[in-house]
Chain A
Amino acid sequence: MSSVAVANKKGFGATLWDYLTTVDHKKLGVMYLLAGTLFFAIAGLEALFMRIQLMFPNNDFVSAGTFNELLTMHGTTMLFLAATPLLFGFMNAVVPLQIGARDVAFPFLNSLGFWLFFLGAIFLHLSFFLGGAPDAGWTSYASLSLYSPGHGIDFYVLGLQISGAGTLISGINFIVTIITMRAPGMTFMRMPLFTWTTLITSALILFAFPPLTVALFFMLVDRMFGANFFDHINGGNTIIWEHLFWIFGHPEVYILVLPAFGLFSEIIPVFARKRLFGYSSMVFATILIGFLGFMVWAHHMFTTGLGPTANAIFAVSTMAIAVPTGMKVFNWILTIWGGSIKVTVPMLYALGFIPSFVAGGVTGVMQATAPLDYQLHDSYFIVAHFHYVIVGGIVLAIFGSMHFYWPIMFNRALNETLGKWTFWFFFIGFHLTFFIQHFLGLMGMPRRVFTYQADQGWDLFNFISSIGAIMMAIGVLILVFNIIISAKSKPLNCRDYWGDGRSLEWALKTPVPFYNFKQTPLVRGYDPYWLEKHEGNEEGMTYAEPLGDIHMPNNSVLPLVMSIGLFVAAFGALYHPDGVAWSIPVIIIGLAITVGAMIVRSLKDDLGFHVHVEEIVATEEQLYGKGGNK
């Protein structure tokens, strides 16, 4: 069942079944990447439609209602269903290799996390075909969303509930993996920074997603089952939604940006050909950002009337986050400083990232000044701020890492020339789109409006902004083209594609066999692969054990079944307020499927299987020719 040789010869049906049931972190990484790209494309189109609508004053390309749906789905999809899975894709593909593990701690849960995310995302997107998408913004403030007619908000609540559960499960899996599965010698203070940021990000997920779950549950029962959490007539309070949402929401932005920091911390030393400057301060800054990230949420609520004391406290704690973030920026610059720099596509993204992200951080500190925020809040200035940090930080990291890690993930390389075209189109387009929005905001243009009157001085700036968006789209199209031709290109079959890899993942020859390491490596220091290379070790790593049988987990279809159960139950809940007779039975059937699968899982022994030495030798020979991975 296990050998790659067999896998290659499988028919379509068998391959599909393999992906539906896989628990291999590398395959799940690819699946996250594909699903994330799909939703990135959808949300990107929504953004384009919005920018076309706003290109001219009094435009009527879309109606006001459609615009609200577009803006809600754009934000929700980009954050929950595009950025998160794309980063999870890299985490899955790279982190186990970086720490010298054969798999993650809970392969079954890893697969469950993916399927919950994916089916939740599909559920949310079905809203377009079933009576209208959610339209109360990605923040879905209760005062607005509680009374939104139709089922849009219900789709939002249930879809995010399901996919959020998946994210939480994946987060738990990553935490345990990084704590317990590190190879011998891989101490905490030798972990690569991407592993560190994955750990801290997962910790943020761990603590931040339950409040979201609770908030969504309140909204669910308020809208569908007659509860009164947010309904002031019956004693409820909509501010509770805002608190719970931002208790989750602010950590969420760091959940996304920390892995991006980690990815750049991997890219920069490789192409500066210099050890990462200030490793321990980087680790410290990551932890501090994670901690402070939980203490600042009310900066999104300065104008709701928390009172001057609360505003002052949250303003100061918000500004404090700029300190560890600044530490990181200086460390990146000092890593590049004096290095012998190779400007490849990933490095280009890193170089573009630093100034763009700093600009976003500076506007963040401006907004953290509570009195000034009374002016800036809910204006285009906010839109400019968060796109500078999100696009300038996270999206650049994702694109850069696609180029960087493509050789490991797919055993193919992306084209450098096309990559540079993508970068310049995207980068210039990005600044064109969003830089000017700062000024639109300062001139008083509110965010989330579907159109505006002419001759207020906004016309030209909006037009320029839309042109930038089109340039970004062209950049993305070139990237897609690049990916397609790479699929047709020759396999690389090499190790250390960039020539200057430092951490353990580069020590492996591609394609990486399903068990990753035929022998568990012994980590003798920070940047283990670089260390071994410099000591002239041809094999790229020192081994901690002799060649022996390898224990691997079994595939399982149960994660998919469990997720389908919740997907079905969600439909029952969704139509419950309509008073249809089948709603409660459908909920029960769905939950029964899920619980049934869980009971099957707990009653059946799942001991995994052993790959025997002969099989390992055969696989290695088949992948790399005689002599195996040498």
Chain B
Amino acid sequence: MGHDTQVQAKTKAQFEYERHHNAVHMRKQVINFAIMIFLTFLAFAVVVADFSAYFIKPFILLLAAVQVVLQLYSFMHMDDKKGHHIGVIQTFVWFGAVIAFTFFLTFLTIIWW
């Protein structure tokens, strides 16, 4: 634990490259954000517009799923291949999601009275 990290000055080219890279990345994040806002609008809109519930329910669930994947992979950087042990983390997260899904399934199907 705690071995000192090398303090290394970046070359000017590298520094500028990284600055630029970060800025481009940030721009992408803003676009992702715009998509999320749009998806949210859409979800509220179809409910307000009073379409058939058989359409709305699967549709807004799909929108929610897309939005969550966006959050996880862009805002939370689960797509970052250089993230420390990100593969293990992905395994854990999706395993949790699968378990969570079984909870919903059983609570909606075999709890009744």
Instruction: Please report A residues at the B interface, Cβ cutoff 8 Å.
Output: 102-103, 175, 179-181, 203, 206-207, 211, 232, 237, 239-240, 243, 247, 291, 294-295, 298, 306-307, 310, 551-553, 608
**Interface assignment of B1: CB less than 8 Å from any CB of chain A:** yes
Given contacts A247-B103, A295-B102, A608-B2, contact A239 B85 (CB under 8 A): no
Closest A residue to B84 using CB positions: A180
Closest B residue to A548 using CB positions: B3
Q: Which of B75-107 contact A (CB under 8 A)?
A: 84-85, 88, 92, 95-96, 99, 102-103, 106-107
Contact B1 A239 (CB under 8 A): no
**Interface assignment of B111: CB less than 8 Å from any CB of chain A:** yes
Contacts of B55 in A (CB 8 A): none
Bound complex: CA A310 to CA B107 (Å):
12
- A-B pairs with beta carbons under 8 Å apart, 20 shown: A103-B1, A175-B92, A179-B85, A180-B84, A180-B85, A206-B92, A232-B113, A237-B113, A240-B107, A243-B107, A243-B111, A294-B99, A294-B102, A310-B106, A551-B1, A551-B2, A551-B3, A553-B1, A608-B1, A608-B2
Instruction: Please report B residues at the A interface, Cβ cutoff 8 Å.
Output: 1-3, 84-85, 88, 92, 95-96, 99, 102-103, 106-107, 109-111, 113
Contacts of B107 in A (CB 8 A): 240, 243
Closest B residue to A208 using CB positions: B99
Chain A nearest CB from B100 CB (Å) reads: 9
Contacts of B103 in A (CB 8 A): 211, 247
Contacts of A239 in B (CB 8 A): 111, 113
Contact A207 B84 (CB under 8 A): no
Contact B2 A240 (CB under 8 A): no
Contacts of A206 in B (CB 8 A): 92
Q: Which of B92, B99, B103 has the most CB of A within 10 A?
A: B99
Contacts of B111 in A (CB 8 A): 237, 239-240, 243
Contact B113 A207 (CB under 8 A): no
Contacts of A102 in B (CB 8 A): 1
Contact A179 B106 (CB under 8 A): no
Q: Which 4 A-B pairs have the closest CB atoms?
A: A551-B2, A306-B110, A310-B110, A551-B1
Bound complex: CA A103 to CA B1 (Å):
8
Chain A nearest CB from B101 CB (Å) reads: 11
Closest B residue to A176 using CB positions: B85
Chain A nearest CB from B86 CB (Å) reads: 11
Closest A residue to B103 using CB positions: A247
Chain A nearest CB from B89 CB (Å) reads: 9
Given contacts A103-B1, A243-B106, A295-B102, 11 further A-B pairs with CB under 8 A are A179-B85, A179-B88, A180-B84, A203-B92, A203-B95, A239-B111, A239-B113, A240-B107, A298-B110, A306-B110, A310-B106
Contacts of B85 in A (CB 8 A): 179-180
Contacts of B99 in A (CB 8 A): 207, 294
Q: Which of B2, B84, B85 has the most CB of A within 10 A?
A: B2
Bound complex: CA A247 to CA B92 (Å):
18
Contacts of A207 in B (CB 8 A): 95-96, 99
Given contacts A551-B3, A608-B2, contact A291 B106 (CB under 8 A): no
Bound complex: CA A175 to CA B85 (Å):
12
Bound complex: CA A238 to CA B106 (Å):
15
Chain A nearest CB from B60 CB (Å) reads: 25
Closest B residue to A290 using CB positions: B95
Chain B nearest CB from A245 CB (Å) reads: 13
Contact A307 B110 (CB under 8 A): yes
Chain B nearest CB from A377 CB (Å) reads: 17
Closest A residue to B113 using CB positions: A237
Chain B nearest CB from A147 CB (Å) reads: 18
Bound complex: CA A102 to CA B3 (Å):
12
Bound complex: CA A306 to CA B105 (Å):
13
Bound complex: CA A239 to CA B88 (Å):
35
Bound complex: CA A203 to CA B91 (Å):
11
Contacts of B109 in A (CB 8 A): 310
Bound complex: CA A577 to CA B111 (Å):
29
Chain A nearest CB from B111 CB (Å) reads: 5
Bound complex: CA A221 to CA B102 (Å):
25
Contacts of A180 in B (CB 8 A): 84-85
Chain A nearest CB from B94 CB (Å) reads: 12
Bound complex: CA A203 to CA B95 (Å):
10
Closest B residue to A181 using CB positions: B1
Contacts of A608 in B (CB 8 A): 1-2
Closest A residue to B107 using CB positions: A243
Chain B nearest CB from A142 CB (Å) reads: 13
Bound complex: CA A175 to CA B3 (Å):
22
Closest B residue to A609 using CB positions: B2
Chain B nearest CB from A307 CB (Å) reads: 7
Contacts of B95 in A (CB 8 A): 203, 207, 291
Bound complex: CA A395 to CA B14 (Å):
59
Bound complex: CA A307 to CA B106 (Å):
12
Chain A nearest CB from B41 CB (Å) reads: 33
Contacts of A307 in B (CB 8 A): 110
Contacts of A203 in B (CB 8 A): 92, 95
Closest B residue to A551 using CB positions: B2
Chain B nearest CB from A495 CB (Å) reads: 25
Contacts of A243 in B (CB 8 A): 106-107, 111
Contacts of B96 in A (CB 8 A): 207
Bound complex: CA A307 to CA B96 (Å):
27
Contacts of B113 in A (CB 8 A): 232, 237, 239
Chain A nearest CB from B75 CB (Å) reads: 22
Chain B nearest CB from A211 CB (Å) reads: 8
Contacts of A232 in B (CB 8 A): 113
Chain B nearest CB from A250 CB (Å) reads: 12
Chain B nearest CB from A283 CB (Å) reads: 14
Q: Which of A175, A211, A294 has the most CB of B within 10 A?
A: A294
Bound complex: CA A310 to CA B113 (Å):
16
Bound complex: CA A237 to CA B103 (Å):
16
Bound complex: CA A506 to CA B103 (Å):
43
Bound complex: CA A239 to CA B110 (Å):
10
Closest B residue to A307 using CB positions: B110
Bound complex: CA A179 to CA B86 (Å):
11
Bound complex: CA A203 to CA B93 (Å):
11
Contact A298 B102 (CB under 8 A): no
Closest A residue to B1 using CB positions: A551
Chain A nearest CB from B113 CB (Å) reads: 6
Contacts of B102 in A (CB 8 A): 294-295
Chain A nearest CB from B35 CB (Å) reads: 30
Contacts of B106 in A (CB 8 A): 243, 298, 310
